[in-house]
Every structure is written in C-alpha cells, then in structure tokens.
Amino acid sequence: MRRVVVTGLGMVTPLACGVEETWSRLLDGKSGAGTIQRFDASHLATDYACEVPLGDGSDGTFNPDDWMLPKERRKVDDFILYGIAAATQAVEDSGWKPEDTESLERTGVLIGSGIGGLQSIAETAVTIKEKGVRRVSPFFIPGALINLISGQVSIKYGFKGPNHAVVTACSTGAHAIGDAARLIKYGDAEVMVAGGAEAAICEIGIAGFNACKALSTKRKDDPQAASRPYDNDRDGFVMGEGAGVVVLEEYEHAKARGAKIYAEVLGYGLSGDAYHITAPSEDGEGGERAMRAALKNAGLEASAIDYINAHGTSTMADTIELGAVERLLGDAASKATMSSTKSATGHLLGAAGAIEAIFSILAIRDQVAPPTINLDNPAVESPIDLAPNVKREREINVALSNSFGFGGTNASVLFGKVG
Amino acid sequence: MSDIADRVKKIVVEHLGVEEDKVAENASFIDDLGADSLDTVELVMAFEEEFGIEIPDDAAETIQTFGDAVKFISQAS
C-alpha cells in the first residue's frame, strides 16, 4: 500500500499570514477576533469576526501584493487570493517545483471552499440592479468559482495532474486533504497540493449566518472572548477567514528527493448524518462514525490517539462532539488531549479543516497541543483534557482532526509521526 | 494629447498594469500590452463607464489598439 506524507505547509489565518507566525500566536493563546474593520458592520446582529490582519507583510501581517499582482488580484474574489497565498507558501516550503513533463503531470491540486466568491456574487447582483446586465465583469464567474483556486495554482506552477475541488461547507478543508491523500494512494498522482480557503466576512455572509442563528452576537464589547468552545457562556461561532494548504506526497517519492517530512496521513474517514440541514445528529453519531472510519482506515485502535483537534465551533454542538469522542475513546479518554483552535482563529468554514489539519501536524512536530482559549467555565465535565487557556506539552504520536459541516457532512483525518 | 486620450490611457494603465509610456498610439491591447480576450471586454466596459457611452459588441471588436479606442470614443462622445 502506498503511504502518503505531508511535505509542505502554508496558511493565511486571522492570527497571521504564515505557518510559524500563526502557530506561535496560537500557542501563546492569542485571539484573532475584533470588531469588523473591512466594512461598516454596525447594523448587523454581529459586528465582530476574525479577519486576516492586513498590513505591509511584516510581523505576520498579510500584504496582498506579496502574493498576486494588483491587476490580477482585481479579477478574483478574496478567497482565491488567500488560497493562492497559502498554496504558494506550501509549495515553496515543500521544495517541490519540478520542470519535467512527467513530474508536472503527476502533481495535482485539490483546494476547495465552503461558499466561494460570496462577496463577488453580492456585488455583482447590486451592479445588475443599479447599472444593468451590461456592467457585469467578464471576470465575475472565473473570479467566484470555487475550483478556480485549484485552476490558478495549476496555472502558476504548471501542475497538470488531477485538478479538483471540494465543497462540503465546514468540512471542505478536511475532505480536500483526505481525498487528495486517497488520490495519491490510488496512484492518480505522486504529489497533491490540497486544502481549503474562505472569505465570507462580508455583509451577506454575516447576515446569512446571523439569520440561521449560528453566530455569536453577545460580545460586541469584548470580541476576543466571543469564541469560547465548551464554555458555559458560549453563544455561537465567530466567523474567520483565510486559507490552509498542504503538500501531500507519496512516501518513497518524498524520501527519494530528500524532502522534509512533517507527518504521515494515517487514515481518513467520512460519514453523513442524514438528520438535519444545520444541526448535528443529537448524540453525534455521525461524527463518531467518521472518526471510527478514519481509525479503521489506519488500522489503529482509538487508544492510539494522543491529540484531537476538535471541530468545536463555540456552539451548542460542542458538547455533542465531546460526547461522541468520549464514547470513541472509552477508557482511554483520560489520556487524550482535545482542543478547539477555533477559540483563537474563529471558524474559517471551508478553510477550517485545512488549517486545523496543519495545527494537528505541528502538534506532532513540536509535541505540544495548542490551547482552547476562553474556556473558563466548562459546560460539562469530561475525562478528556480540553487544554483550557494554556498549551499542553505532551507526547503526541497520533493526532485526529475533526470537521463537521452543514448538511450533515463529516470528515476525520488522522495524522501520525513518521519515525 | 487630448483629454480623452489621457483618460483612456489612465484606464489602460490601471486595468492592464502596464507602464504609461508603453501605451503608444498603435499599441495593441493583446499583442503589445498583455491583455487577453476577457481583459479587452473589461476595458471596453470601463470606457463605456468613464465616458457614458455605449459601445456595441461589433464596434468593440474593432477596438484593438489605444489609438482605435481614442478615435472611437472621440467620435461617439
């Protein structure tokens, strides 16, 4: 059986642009939340979010000019800009920049998004209403389509292998990485650039999630305390934005070129709830089946899991997932650490599973579990260590990353240390 | 240079990301200034917006160079 390893990482998050910049802030317990700066959100039920910090590129800020020329950037929605930035970092980090035809044809891209060019769609609808259909930009469609990150990245690097995209709401990033690993295992490619991106912090995005009662609304005075998974005072998720991208590679291929290997993709599990359009099944049995499927795929027992990066969005569903993980781990529950990094980054929707996969990989690299910040008053007691407010230095050989999405779509990806 | 030419040049520089001195009278948007077919559609839209005119599709196809654009717009406005 072909093995798949991770050889490159890239990310743009509300904490910072860049993997190490984000990771150090995450371990330090920083929050990426604040009052929305991008537009006037004062009329919305929620006027705070976790925005990518814009700046000149120094000190972890995101400078769009570093990743796309201004004339190209105008033609794409921000989710594509973030996706290209994260993919560029990941490819550079991997050192995989082949020029021969065979290598290029054996390298693919699979980067998804939960919603895609939401802001572009909203703006174009207003343009039609105000100025008529003749004012619709020729770049509207190619700038808003979800699979255009994969398209843009393939054009940038000449990668001619499988070109694909996932759209499974908040499970997108996890599904993209899991599916891409399967493509390598199955022999469709040797290398895949995989992940997710999202840029839905705009009026229509906030209004839409407010309407389905998913967002936190009660922390206008203290946005950094709003994302508080497992805490008794949580009142909904805080929207984040950004992108996470990994380079996945067949193990022998990576070894042969002397690549830096971060971790191995040990297993991947998928399931559906068949229950409700936005709520998880009452006891979390759908998520539990995804986790069990990932373990079965890896040939591991649940007791092998050291760290779980939870879906944990800071909604009522947190304790449902926690219950499912407790059932999964059984007697081993007291030995595992589980944290929700959404406490710091907010919920990046289609990018969440991708950045959280990267956090799981870095947890293995550095033998440290990032904290669940703002966890002051746990809603329930659990034998599982939720790493409240402080990172947990501990042995981590196997890490599980969970992502669950609207529509009842669940994905779990299992990463392991390469010895 | 006329006011129209100045305004057209500004749009071309902004949309195609080219240096101002490259935008010569006979510079072709596609061959000399790096535009693709979608860029030219967007340019024509920007001209329409700037000058408050309508450029029908068949006329748009004849606008290949900076000079063509200035000439067409001068006659239309």
The terminus-to-terminus CA distance of chain A in angstroms comes to 18
Residue range A150-173: mean pLDDT, rounded: 98
User: B-chain residues within 8 Å CB-CB of A130?
Assistant: none
> From the CA atom positions of chain A, what is the Rg in Å?
20
Q: Measuring CA to CA, which residue among A271, A242, A245, A273 is closest to residue A347? A: A242
**Residue A138 is nearest to which of B17, B42, B54, comparing CB atoms?**
B42
The predicted complex's ipTM stands at 0.89
| Residue A69 touches chain B, beta carbons under 8 Å | yes
End-to-end Cα separation, chain B, in angstroms: 17
- The answer on pLDDT for A403 being more than 90 is yes
* C-alpha B30 chain-centroid distance: 11
For the CA atoms of A38, A42, A46, A47, the dihedral, rounded to the nearest 10 degrees, stands at 40
Q: Characterise A379 by phi-psi region: left (phi > 0), alpha (psi -120 to 50), beta (else).
A: alpha
Q: Is the dihedral of CA A51, A52, A56, A59 positive or negative?
A: positive
Four-point Cα dihedral A147, A152, A153, A159, nearest 10: 90
Identify any residues that bridge with A164 across adjacent strands, giving them in sequence order.
Answer: A110
Residue A100 CA, chain-centre distance (Å), reads: 32
Q: Which of B15, B16, B45 sits opposite A135 (nearest CB)?
A: B45
Q: Which of A68, A127, A134, A141 to mutate to test the interface with B (most CBs of B within 10 A)?
A: A134
pLDDT digits (tens, 9 = 90+) for A95-126: 999 999 999 999 999 999 999 999 999 999 99
Domain boundaries, chain A: 4-263, 269-416
B65 lies in which domain range?
Answer: 1-76
pTM: 0.96
Percent of chain A with pLDDT over 90: 99
b vs e for B22-35, b when ≥16 Cβ sit within 10 Å of the residue's Cβ? ebeeebebeebbeb
- Residues from chain A that touch B16, judged by Cβ atoms under 8 A, are 71
Q: Please name the fold of domain A269-416.
A: Peroxisomal Thiolase; Chain A, domain 1 (3.40.47)
Query: How many Å apart are CA A111 and CA A268, to the nearest integer?
Result: 17
Inter-residue contact A122 to A53 (CB < 8 Å): no
pLDDT digits (tens, 9 = 90+) for A316-370: 999 999 999 999 999 999 999 999 999 999 999 999 999 999 999 999 999 999 9
Q: Which CATH superfamily is domain A4-263 in?
A: Thiolase/Chalcone synthase (3.40.47.10)
Mean pLDDT of chain A: 97
Q: Answer yes or no: do A142 and B38 touch at CB < 8 A.
A: yes
The token pair at A150 is 């994969």
Per-residue pLDDT at B1? 57
Partnered with residue A192 across adjacent β-strands are A108, A248
User: Residue B20 is part of a domain; what is its CATH number?
Assistant: 1.10.1200.10
pLDDT digits (tens, 9 = 90+) for A119-132: 999 999 999 999 99
